[in-house]
Amino acid sequence: MLQNDFAVRVMAIINLTPDSFWSGSRSRSKNHAVKKALQAVEDGAHILDLGAESSRPGASYVSEKEELDRLIPVIQAIRKKTSIPISVDTRRSLVLKAAVEAGASMLNDISALEDDPEMAKLVAKLQIPLVLMHKRGEPKNMQENTAYADVFEEVFLYLQGRVRYALDAGIAAENIIVDPGIGFGKNLEGNRVLIQRAGDFAAVIPGRKTEVLIGASRKASLGILTGRPVEERLVASVCAHQLAVQAGANILRVHDVKETIDMLRVLRGFG
């Protein structure tokens, strides 16, 4: 689907929001966002993931117009500079349609096609890669209910159901990627289990291996483990993503591209 020199791809987070959970990831302007994107490409990113609506714990959704106003000019500007695949982090089909027309070629949907009934049909028509993510509730309340009888089983069955929905809508199996949603309605123990069993999510489609995305970058669980604020969680993020790769993850969604690429080079060289 998305080929590169590594068995694992690095997806660079490009936040276009003023309220993302780490201030260091926020873009102050279109030019600043484009500069960050091009730096990520230089650092070795394989995919850029642009989001114009924060999904941090406690965040509220923005209007469609605001999302488009933040997103489209940046996609257009990046596309003039590089041919790297651009993923758009959105729940809205109209935003996806405009983003693809501007140069995007991938969808990262934290609602797993639940929020917009038109989204699945559009993705099937566009024939683009799609990330389906598990979460509980909405960003504004998702950390209020983090208890599971069996976190892996619940997340796996949810993703399996959303994959079936996508397949029934005409989305090609090879275009589907699953994300267990680290930090989205999970506590420390839940996140630990999901990272340790990352590779097991590849079995959501019987008879084939589905790609698995993990995004643990600078998240709260790493702060609990290390006692460090978000600004000081680089090493913890790289370690968490190394564990995810060793467990079978195929795509890492990260803030810190260069350091993640270094980790992958060491794994490839010594592995």
Measured over the CA atoms of residue 265, residue 41, residue 183 and residue 149, the dihedral's sign is negative
pLDDT at 26: 64
Hey, what domains does the chain have and what are their CATH numbers?
10-270 (3.20.20.20)
Name the least confident of 23-27, 194-198, 225-229, 247-251: 23-27
pLDDT at 144: 78
pLDDT at 143: 76
pLDDT at 137: 75
- Residues 109, 130 contacting (CB under 8 angstroms): yes
Query: Quick check: 248 pLDDT over 70?
Result: yes
CB contact set of 2 (below 8 Å; sequence gap of 6+): 9, 46, 47, 85, 129
Query: Quick check: 209 pLDDT over 80?
Result: yes
pLDDT at 271: 78
What confidence category does residue 68 fall into, taking pLDDT thresholds of 50, 70 and 90?
Answer: very high
Query: Quick check: 3 pLDDT over 50?
Result: no
Task: Point out the residues that are catalytic.
Answer: 219, 253
